[in-house]
Amino acid sequence: MQARLFQVDAFAAKVFEGNPAAIVPLDAWPETALMQALAAENNLAETAFFVPEGEGYHLRWFTPTVEVDLCGHATLASAHVLFSHLGYDKPAISFQTRSGELVVKREGDKLAMDFPAAKPRPFPMPAGIEEALGARPRVYLRTSNLMAVFDTAAEVKALAPDFPALARILKPLNAGLICSAEADPASGHDFVSRFFAPVHGIDEDPVTGSAHCTSVPYWAKKLGKVDVVARQVSARGGTLWCSHAGDRVIIRGTCADYMTAEISF
């Protein structure tokens, strides 16, 4: 069996920024184990597969080790592939996913994803987490992921976690960890974040759209804004233009093409 593969840097203005995703369009689903093996072979944070379904597409996402319920950057990259390479000419794309229907629209030079909001709630400090992070957050919150809020952007940028220790703490929660803080006023951003997911085979994710389902409602409320600009301050880095819309979050970004290939499996 052969298929096309597109490697796209999502939430990127140019290649080598943002978060790389492998996108594999298919006509029909292969075995799940085969898709997982392809994701492991690609060894990127996510490999996305989609097949036509109804008026839109069914979309699935895999890390190198597990299938996940929600992935922002690979959804953005999938929409980019459809709009830019596969001739999709409608104004919006509907993806059916484990997290329900996700719609992606063109907005000028950006793509806008309509995702479910996940409003965080206070959560007790997990034992050992401050030692694993090497830093002390001001507050802990929880949705499907854990969120640690720091006083300054510099603290978030300086984090150097002990990943084996962090994995042991996060495994019982089956969660990733968002570390976030208000951005410096002169930066042009409203807040910064990093995302660690050693439980899911990703020590640090370069730019994490799905994490902003949690961080955008928090910071929009705290800052008294509807529209916020987020910067994920990983080594690669990426910018997300977001809006809090009640029980939904609009996450916007741009993509850069890195590679087109043909795979055999």
Q: Show which residues are catalytic.
A: 46
The CA distance from 261 to 3, in Å, is: 9
207: enclosing H helix or E strand? none
Taking Cα atoms as reference points, which of 33, 1, 51, 48 lies closest to residue 265?
Answer: 1
Residue whose tokens read 């759209």: 209
Amino acid identity, residue 225?
Answer: K
13: enclosing H helix or E strand? none
DSSP per-residue string spanning 29-79: ---HHHHHHHHHHHTSSEEEEEEEETTEEEEEEE-SS-EES--HHHHHHHH
Taking Cα atoms as reference points, which of 200, 196, 194, 186 lies closest to residue 215?
Answer: 194
User: 39 and 71 in contact (C-beta within 8 Å)?
Assistant: no
| CB crowding 24-38: b at 16 or more within 10 Å, else e | bbbeeebeeeebbeb
| CB crowding 178-200: b at 16 or more within 10 Å, else e | bbbbbbeeeeebbbbbbbbbbbb
